[in-house]
Structure 1
Amino acid sequence: MNMHVKIMIRTLIVTLVVILGIPLSFVHASKPEPAHVLIIYDSLAKGTSREGNIEALQRLLASFGVKVTETTMDNYKKGTLAKYTSVIAVRNANELTISNTDYIQDFASYEGDYLHIGVQLPSKIQTELNLTIQNANEQFVKLSIGQFSEPTIHVSHMPYIVQAMGSIQYGSISSENNDMDTPYAVRHDGLAYVPYYEKGNLSEIALAYVLKDWLRVTEQGKTYLLFKEVYPFSDLPLLEKMADKLYSAGIPFIVSVRPVFHNTDYPAMQRYLETLKYVQSHNGSILVNTPVVSSTIQEIGPELKAQMELFVDVLADYEIAPLGLGAEMYWTYDQQYSEYGMGSFDSAVLFPNENIRHRSQSDSSKSFSSSVYTIQLDFLEQFEHTGKVIERFPMSTALVYNFFETEAELDQNVQAYIDSWITFDDYKSVPHNVQTQANTISTHNGMFEINGHSVDLNNAYRTVSPEYSYKPEPEKSFETLFSIQNKIFIVLILLTLFAFGIMFIIGYRLYKRKYLNRRR
């Protein structure tokens, strides 16, 4: 296209914007809003094998970039279903029936996408999916999906699909005595049914295959290697050795580091930063892990935001580019944490909840442009798989390890990564953006950028001197005067002692002479 024609087109667009009063934001392509899914469940199934499956479902949905709102069937409010085009119902309890008439009436007229997990599949969905269902007695079954299978899963009162006409089928469930061989799940357009889902076995991963298609996600999931629990007082030389070994093996990795909010000019902090820069230069990506927050603090919002931005700025000033946030899942369901602690990041790696300390709990989650599901290698090792190479999962996934304590442990695990036949992806190959008031950090074509400038990964390592006064000396008034006085007093004392010594010697001689004269 001729340059003059381009200029004329741009001029015409600007003219139309001015004349018609069109906001400029509409001229540029805006970032699409994340999908918003409603989870409605009957119970958390505490004390049963299904306990924890709601949290695992939340993390799975987050890994697909989905915003989630959740409620229970008892607390459902009339008209809620009409606000959503995608709904997931989780029925964990065999004995519970729905008594909320508002939900029953709204569901009867609901026409959006619907995924049912667990028991008591509504007859409306069973008819539309053209399914025949039976309940299995207590037994052990084999679950297979993709290249993975788990041969001995204990189930009790599990419904299973006898026949599915015209639906897409996912995986298979079979019994030990071969009297059952049924699809794990089925889907047809926006309707899907997953009879069985529990945290801690292969069904935790199997659901992701269904979710990806049900959510109409087309991006390929990636696999990352991540290390957490890294502090300024960690074994930093060992961290450098790990970076060397992984770099030599051609394995990109992520380190989720604990932030430091005070004394950032101390040598210990400088050595920490130098080590992180070394890690970054050896194909490592840096995440900022959320801090440990005291349970006694209620209002932490603005202070938390300032502290998180402070640490990001300290890293950026040192030419270290943090690309995202590492956090327990409950942080995304807390208004203070999500707004103030996570607001600077558009990428996150979400860990299972370990110590929940809400400040302002919310029933809706914060979503991220890039979010990663986390598992551990020993979780995968309990499954059988076909082929040597482990294929990528439907969602982006990170194999997570706490940082090693000994070099022997490091060597053993690095060799396990090499032998695992897992293809690890480079975290910085995906777009990330971190924004503070002072700095903008991003990735572009696999390169780090800070405020639009590429980060030099070849900066020389600087040795930080251990000699440092950790407590700065206060300013002293009249220090010079007192110093002169002290010296004068010292001289006077020495002169006095000298005079006293001379007098002592003279007196001793006089006394000795007098004594000798008497004896004569």
Structure 2
Amino acid sequence: MFRQMIARVIMMLLIVVLVVPTSWAMAAESEPTHVLIVYDSLAKGTSKEGNVEALQRLLASDGVRVTLCSLETYQKGTLQQYEKVVGVFNTSDLKISSTDYLSDFAKYDGDYMHIGAMLPAKVQSSLGIRLQMSEGETIRLLMGQFIQESIQVQQLPRIIATTGHTYGNVTSTSMNHATPYGVRNDRYAYIPYFEKGNLSELALSYVLKDWFAIKGDRHQYIVFKDVYPFSDLKLLEHMADRLYDAGIPFMVSVNPVLSNTDYPAMKRYLETLKYVQSRNGSILVNAPFVASPFSHLNRDLGAQMETFIDVLADHGLAPLGIGAEMYWTYDQHYIAKGMKFFDSVVEYPNEKIMYKEQTNTSQPFESSLYSLQPDFLKQYLYKKSKVIDPLPMDTALVFKFFADEKELDRAVQQLADSWVTFADYKYEQHNVATQKNKISSDGGFLHINGQVVALNDAKKSVDSNYTYKQVEKKSFEKWFHVQDRIFIVIILFTIVAFGVLFISGYRLYKRKYFK
């Protein structure tokens, strides 16, 4: 008996020792990395304007949570709360005035990436860097398979020597040899030049991937956005057929319908989307258009988004994620109401920021695609005769839905002729959940509430002769119709009688006048 008790105690201890640390490890793995961005300025009115926003989107594609902090608002002890910090310094003529930041940085022992001017001495020493400042340069940037000629740079710290691992190269007419675009070792990384909208935006992603030690394959996708119930649905079907025949998987980001979901236009929209889904197309829900942060104050965004997802699911459609401008992930209202149903997102660049409850910390997603314009890769491709390798992050080439068939055919032919290999979104794991429906994808299969979705391409015909407002039964309806006819007869008789009297009076007056 005593031996059995000892054996049970030993067994329980083994369970605690083996199982609990494993669960802790799993919990630690599931928690996304939290990164702090510290910046000296947003460089408004200069060529560097927007580079902080571009960095935010790049970090989101790596699945990390981001907190934004300017040096002006920095509070003592902030750095020590983060494992990784990125410093963006857009000005070289201003010294750092925050003594709290300087004091904290001197003691900071986490991973740090520096972008731009004012490279800290301990980072420079750790990377074994020697710098040479150049002014008013026209440079050529080469990174992997991509190249951009003739980039105008006002100030550029050149890395002329380093002991770290280097990335890409930069050349110019004033230098006899190429210098690295960026450099990294185990803890530190340095990028002298970064701007939004040119090849440096893509080049930075190569350094970020290694700095985060990201493993696994990355994929490229195609997304078509701005699809509405009143879009050219025949053209949408034609596009699905063309891409299916070319063997190109794609996604359609559909604009949600928040009311009148029983109208025929909506029914035809759903039937067309079902056909698109059957032609190897994946469905995303686009974020609703925000005209003003103060409009629709009484609108329950969460309930309306949930209703639309349920309408799709009830019709056999499996939406797998949401497409939204980046600022949505930095707004507590949009996160809690509009995005809470999804674990996957395609982040578009900000076009018109309409915050409702702005926060400086982003919402990370299990899957986050970095969106690019279709011509971005093509214009910078260095070797056009070879297959384009996957980029360092999951990427979506985003097209606006086409205006006509000629534009569609031209774009599809370019995609078919390209060397880019596009992935099928539903082969990755995505989850969408409402109170009523659980939607998921994995390995190429779609599931709604545990049932595999049958990809049937048959479409139901929807009657266009539809009364948009139901006619109610009315009391005395027949009597009112009879009454209307009587009034019409009386009015016509009165008009005829008035006409006869008018003519008779005119003739009598005329005779009297001649006499």
1:483 aligned residue (478, 483, 492): 478
Contact conserved, 2:137 with 2:155, CA < 8 A, in 1?
Answer: no
Structure 1 distance, partners of 2:481, 2:261, is 38
1:516 maps to which residue?
none
How big is the shift at 1:383?
1.1
1:296–1:124 distance in 2 versus 1, CA, 3 Å? closer
2:259 counterpart of 1:262? yes
Task: Give 2:434's match in structure 1, choosing from 415, 433, 436.
Answer: 436
Q: Residue 242 of structure 2 aligns to a residue in which SS?
A: helix
Give the fraction of aligned pairs with identical amino acids, expressed as a percent.
52
Structure 1 residues 175-214: aligned runs within 5 Å: 175-214=172-211
Q: Which runs of 4+ in 1 moved over 4 A?
A: 12-17, 25-31, 298-302, 484-491
1-side partners of 2:480 and 2:372: how far apart?
Answer: 70
Query: Per the alignment, in what secondary structure is the counterpart of residue 72 of structure 2?
Result: coil
2:51 paired with 1:53: yes
Q: How does 1:216-235 map to 2 (within 5 A)?
A: 216-235=213-232
Structure 1: tracts of 5 or more residues without a match: 1-8, 495-520
Kindly report which structure 2 residues correspond to 1:266-305, keeping only aligned pairs within 5 A, or say none: 266-295=263-292, 297=294, 303-305=300-302
Could you give the per-residue CA deviations for residues 243-270 of structure 1, whole angstroms, max 9, x where no partner exists? 0000000000011010001110100000
* The structure with more radius of gyration: 1
- 1:359 offset after TM fit, Å? 0.4
* Structure 1 residues 488 and 198: CA distance shift in structure 2, 3 A: closer
* Counterparts in 2 of 1:366 and 1:59: CA distance versus 1, 3 Å: same
Q: CA deviation at 1:27?
A: 9.2
User: Is the alpha carbon distance of 1:485 and 1:232 closer, same or farther for their aligned partners in structure 2, counting shifts above 3 Å?
Assistant: closer
| Aligned-pair CA distance for 1:331 | 0.3
Displacement of 1:219 in angstroms is 2.4
Cα shift at 1:484: 6.0
Q: Is the 8 A contact 1:39 1:68 kept in 2?
A: yes
CA displacement 1:410-437 (0-9 Å, x = unmatched): 1111111112211111111111000111
Aligned mates of 2:73, 2:52 — CA distance in 1: 16
Deviation at 1:59, TM superposition (A): 0.4
Structure 2: distance between partners of 1:90 and 1:450: 44
Give 2:111's aligned residue: 113
Assess if the C-alpha contact under 8 Å between 2:293 and 2:356 holds in 1. no
Contact 2:168–2:180 (Cα < 8 Å) also in 1? yes
Partner of 1:72: 70
SS in 2 for 1:242: helix
1:388 aligns with 2:386: yes
Counterpart residue number, 2:455? 457
C-alpha separation between the residues in 1 aligned to 2:26 and 2:392?
28
Structure 2: where are the runs of 5+ without partners?
Answer: 1-7, 490-515
Write the deviation string for residues 257-311 of structure 1: whole angstroms up to 9, x where unpaired.
1000111010000000001001100000110000012315268598111111111
Q: Which residue in 2 is equivalent to 1:143?
A: 141
Aligned mates of 1:76, 1:427 — CA distance in 2 = 40
1:250 pairs, out of 247, 252, 261, with: 247
Instruction: Quote how far apart the aligned CAs of 1:358 are.
Output: 0.2
Cα separation, 2, equivalents of 1:135 and 1:301:
56
Q: 2 CA distance for matches of 1:26 and 1:182?
A: 46
* Pairs aligned (count): 476
The alpha-carbon distance between structure 1 residues 67 and 298, as it changes in their structure 2 partners (threshold 3 A), is farther
Contact 2:293 2:354 in 1 (8 A): no
Once the two structures are TM-superposed, the CA of residue 14 in structure 1 deviates from its matched residue by 13
Cα distance in 2 for partners of 1:202, 1:28 equals: 38
Pick one of 355, 358, 362 that aligns with 1:361: 358
Alignment partners' CA distance in 1, 2:456 and 2:24: 41
Q: Cα gap change, 1:473/1:27 in structure 2, threshold over 3 Å: closer, same or farther?
A: farther
Report the TM-score, using the length of structure 2 for normalisation. Answer: 0.88
> Residue in 1 aligned with 2:492?
none
Amino acid of the structure 2 residue aligned with 1:483: K
Q: CA deviation at 1:388?
A: 2.3
Superposed counterparts of 1:332-481, under 5 Å: 332-386=329-383, 387-458=385-456, 460-476=458-474, 478-479=475-476
Distance in 2 (alpha carbons) for counterparts of 1:52 and 1:486: 68
Secondary structure at the counterpart of residue 271 of structure 2: helix
8 Å CA contact 1:301, 1:337 repeated in 2: no
| Contact 1:301–1:340, Cα closer than 8 Å, also in 2 | no
Q: Tell me the TM-score normalised to structure 1 length.
A: 0.87
Question: Shift in Å at residue 384 of structure 1?
Answer: 3.5
Counterpart code for 2:356 = R
